[in-house]
Every structure is written in structure tokens, then in C-alpha cells.
Amino acid sequence: MSTVERLVVIVLFDRVDLLDVTGPPEVFSLLRHEIGDTAAAYRVVLAAETMDPVTTSAGVRILPDTTFHEVSAQCIDTLLVPGAVEADGHGRVRALADPAVVDRVKTLAARTRRITSVCVGAHILAAAGLLDGKRATTHWSTARQLAEDHPEVEVDADPIFIRSGEVWTGAGISACLDLSLALVAEDFGESVALRVARQLVMYVKRPSGQSQFSVPLEPVSMTRRTEDLRHHILRTIGDQLTVADLAAYAHVGERQLTRIFKAELGMTPAAYIESVRVELARNQLESTDATLERIVSTCGFGTTDTLIRAFRRKLDTTPTEYRRRFRAGPG
């Protein structure tokens, strides 16, 4: 284990996402408590264009520790680039990449051992050319934008985080904790990272290959009727729901219901129901000791074979294999 303090520089700019900035330092702060050697831990500094307060997307103002110019003269261990988005008023968001920030990141990256992005910060790395020819992830809501704006980047919207050489990209939003723990594991070992994870009440670090997708995190539907249908599905998921049942509940025909789901959720009602059931089953496999038979019952699969087929179709694995890989425990 190195006894040299590692300089972590977090890039600040107006409208930056607050959790992207504050989440990783919390992980690194707990690391100091675990190893009991502050000289061997991380030294985190917040760098901005000037020393003026930076207003985050949450409206909270943050004071920088240093300027980009000052920190550019130092040897940086880890450069952490958060992100920012703008909304269009219809529930859609677009990642921002200010050219001035992009230029600063490109300059700082040249003096950095390891480069990381949090959430939509990947768009800034891509604009700086730091993801060219690499596989990268970002928040699922802007993954298509990243792929369209930067075809030279292999975008994978599924994983929690991706490492490509010394460039790491993380998904959003709480995935910044998973990424930070992975950095700790690389630098200080798995056992230390697991102790930090316990302090965060994260009993196991989610592997980079675990999907960030979650049915409840899908884009909010455009109509109140569809939102009501989604909540109805969650409330009655243990029942043998059919398209006819949902159509009757919504007071529309089955064909009209299918058109509504495809237009607003991008899938058929049956496919959506299966996605919800798989998501709920995943949560139970990760966090409980429930038997497959119990999960089949509470999630409405009907039979164990139906559960297994759904997992193979959606996740390319079996429920048993999934539990073995992702089961949370005290360690």
C-alpha cells in the first residue's frame, strides 16, 4: 500500500449536479477512518475557473479550493469530472458540455494518472476526446445522446461503471458511490473497500457489470392515465395480470392500450409487466433469502419455469446464478 497522499481533483462549473460532486468525497472521507493513515489516503480538492462560488443544479453554492490554473501545475492522481443537464420541460434531459470546461478537462487530463466521470460527466470526457475508441457508460437517460454526438465512443448504457484502461466512466446518480468504491478497491484492496461500503450501508459493492436499469426509473409517462396504469401494475403485480385486465381498468380497448404503452413506454403492456416482475424478482434475489417459489408467487410469474425464462430473456442468466453473483450480505 502506498504511503503517498493521492490528489483527487473534482471539476466544478456552474449547474453541475450536486451529488456528483459530494458523493465521491464522502467515500474517500470514510476511507481515512478505515485505514487510520491520513497520509496514505486521498486529498480531495474542488477546482473551478475562479475562486468564486459555483452554483450547482440544486441551487446550492459551493466554494472551490483552487483554480484550474493552479492545480494544473500539480501531479494529479485522479481527475473526477461530474456532469450537468438541462431539461426541456417535457421530462426529457440533455447533457451539457461547456467548451471552456471541456478544454480545461483536456489540459488537466494530460497531468493525471487516472480519469473518471460521474453520471453525464462522460459527455465532457467524450467532447475532450478522452473516450475515443473506448467503451463507456453514462446515465441511461442520455446514453443515446452520447452515442449520437460521439460515434467514436462505444456506449454501453447498462453497467454501473466501466473501466477502459485508466479511464473510468460511471452511471447515474448514486452509481458515483459504486465507482468511488471501485477506485478504493483498486488502490487499497477489496477488504478496505468492503469496510468502507459497510459504513455507507452498502453491504456489497455492485460489480461493474450489474445493470443500472430499473423499471421504476423509466421516463415518467406523458399522461396521467398511463402513470395510473403503472402504479396499478405495481400494486397488483402478484396477480395474473392480463392485457384484458389492464384495458378494462383503463376503460379502453386492448389495441388502444397497446398503442398507449408503445407510444409512452416503448413496449407492449405484456413486456412492461414482465419487466416489472423481473425487476422485483431481482431485488428479492439480491436482498432476501426468499425461495424461488416464494418469488414466483409474490411477483406473479405463475411458475418457476416462467421466472427462469424471463431472466434468461431479460438478463441472460438464471435466478440462481443472479443471486450467487449479486446477493447482498454482511461480508
User: Are residues 71 and 112 located together in one domain of the fold?
Assistant: yes
Question: Is 209 part of a structural domain of the chain?
Answer: no
User: Are residues 184 and 72 located together in one domain of the fold?
Assistant: yes
Q: Which residues of the chain are under the pLDDT cut of 50?
A: 1-2, 203-204, 213-221, 329-331
Instruction: Supply the pLDDT for residue 152.
Output: 97
Give the domain extent around 298: 215-326
pLDDT in tens, 14-63: 999 999 999 999 999 999 888 876 656 899 999 999 999 999 999 999 99
Question: Is 207 part of a structural domain of the chain?
Answer: no
Instruction: Supply the pLDDT for residue 134.
Output: 96
Cα(174)–Cα(139) distance, integer angstroms: 10
Instruction: Supply the pLDDT for residue 191.
Output: 80
Instruction: Supply the pLDDT for residue 3.
Output: 53
Instruction: Supply the pLDDT for residue 273.
Output: 93
Q: Last residue of some domain: 199, 224, 240? A: 199
Question: Is 252 part of a structural domain of the chain?
Answer: yes
User: Beta strands 76-81 and 6-11: pairing type?
Assistant: parallel
User: Are residues 177 and 241 located together in one domain of the fold?
Assistant: no
CA-based nearest residue to 40, from 52, 27, 31? 31
Cα(250)–Cα(73) distance, integer angstroms: 63
> What secondary structure does DSSP assign to 249-297, as a single string?
HHTS-HHHHHHHHHHHHSS-HHHHHHHHHHHHHHHHHHH----HHHHHH
User: Are residues 239 and 305 located together in one domain of the fold?
Assistant: yes
User: Are residues 249 and 188 located together in one domain of the fold?
Assistant: no
76-107 b/e with 16+ CB inside 10 Å = b? bbbbbbbbbbeeeeeeebebbbeeebbebbee
Question: Is 240 part of a structural domain of the chain?
Answer: yes
Instruction: Supply the pLDDT for residue 329.
Output: 45
Instruction: Supply the pLDDT for residue 197.
Output: 80
- Provide the domain count of the chain: 2
User: Are residues 94 and 144 located together in one domain of the fold?
Assistant: yes
Q: Residue 162 belongs to what H/E stretch?
A: strand 161-164
User: Are residues 290 and 179 located together in one domain of the fold?
Assistant: no
224-233 long-range Cβ contacts below 8 angstroms, 24+ apart: 225/250, 225/260, 226/260, 226/261, 226/264, 226/265, 230/265, 230/272, 233/272, 233/273, 233/276
Residue type at position 45: V
User: Are residues 189 and 155 located together in one domain of the fold?
Assistant: yes
Question: Is 54 part of a structural domain of the chain?
Answer: yes
Q: Please state the pTM of the whole predicted model.
A: 0.65
Question: Is 20 part of a structural domain of the chain?
Answer: yes
Which CATH number does the domain housing residue 268 bear? 1.10.10.60
Q: Last residue of some domain: 143, 175, 199? A: 199
CA 75 remoteness from chain centre: 29
Question: Is 210 part of a structural domain of the chain?
Answer: no
Instruction: Supply the pLDDT for residue 220.
Output: 47
User: Are residues 28 and 163 located together in one domain of the fold?
Assistant: yes
Cα(278)–Cα(289) distance, integer angstroms: 16
119 among known catalytic residues = yes
Contact 12, 21 (CB under 8 A): yes
Residues in the chain, overall count:
331
Q: Which three cell numbers stand for residue 59?
A: 441551487
What contacts 288, CB < 8 A, 6 or more positions away? none
CA-based nearest residue to 131, from 75, 81, 77, 187? 81
What contacts 144, CB < 8 A, 6 or more positions away? 157
Cα(311)–Cα(235) distance, integer angstroms: 21
First to last CA, the chain: 22
What contacts 100, CB < 8 A, 6 or more positions away? 49
User: Are residues 239 and 101 located together in one domain of the fold?
Assistant: no
Contact 155, 212 (CB under 8 A): no
Q: Last residue of some domain: 175, 199, 223? A: 199
User: Are residues 184 and 50 located together in one domain of the fold?
Assistant: yes
User: Are residues 165 and 240 located together in one domain of the fold?
Assistant: no
Question: Is 48 part of a structural domain of the chain?
Answer: yes
Q: Which of 75, 119, 176, 299 is catalytic?
A: 119
Contact 146, 95 (CB under 8 A): yes
Which CATH number does the domain housing residue 133 bear? 3.40.50.880
Contact 65, 9 (CB under 8 A): no
